[in-house]
Amino acid sequence: MMSFEKIKELIQLVNQSEMMYVDIKTDDMHITLSKREQADLVHAPLSHSQTQTDSKQEISVVTNDETIPTQAISQGNIIESPLVGVAYLSPAPDLSPFKQVGDTVAVGDVLCIVEAMKIMNEIKSDVAGVVTEIMVDNQQIVEFGQPLFRIL
């Protein structure tokens, strides 16, 4: 068990560094430190955050040099990274991605993996819908709260 003095030293080190997020797990304790003002994921660092936007956007479909306007659609749900790490869009380099644009997503489906400190963290969807945008590239470094997917 880490002493109170050691925890205070750790907090000071994080505050004086450029690190934005630290998550430490041992057999008998779990410490999460975040410099983010609204640390809404501190209590559940491995579940992802979602943001639903109500703004509308006019889209048009281009087919054979013709532009066909379509109705305005909602922006959907934004799935954000719950931690800093490297995003992997497929379970292995030689396998196909978990999800691609246009794929249907059910609640609990794995969208990607974020590797942090040699630990692979599955990012699962807690909304059902269709993937309309993948906002990161495979093996891209992602920040805490960075948008990963848009699900409509």
- Count of domains forming the chain: 2
pLDDT for 36 equals 57
Please check whether residues 97 and 120 belong to one and the same domain.
Answer: yes
Q: Model-level pTM?
A: 0.53
Q: 136: domain CATH number?
A: 2.40.50.100
Please check whether residues 7 and 52 belong to one and the same domain.
Answer: no
Answer whether residue 40 is part of any domain: no
Please check whether residues 16 and 73 belong to one and the same domain.
Answer: no
Please check whether residues 20 and 61 belong to one and the same domain.
Answer: no
Report the 3 state secondary structure along the chain. CCCHHHHHHHHHHHHHCCCCEEEEECCCCEEEEECCCCCCCCCCCCCCEEEEEEEEECCEEEECCEEEECCCEEEEEEEECCCCEEEECCCCCCCCCCCCCCCEECCCCEEEEEEECCEEEEEECCCCEEEEEECCCCCEEECCCCEEEEEC
Domain that holds residue 111: 46-151
Write out pLDDT tens, residues 28-59. Answer: 777 777 765 544 444 444 444 444 444 444 44
Please check whether residues 54 and 31 belong to one and the same domain.
Answer: no
Write out pLDDT tens, residues 57-98. Answer: 444 444 444 443 433 345 789 999 999 999 999 999 899 999
Answer whether residue 26 is part of any domain: yes
Please check whether residues 14 and 86 belong to one and the same domain.
Answer: no
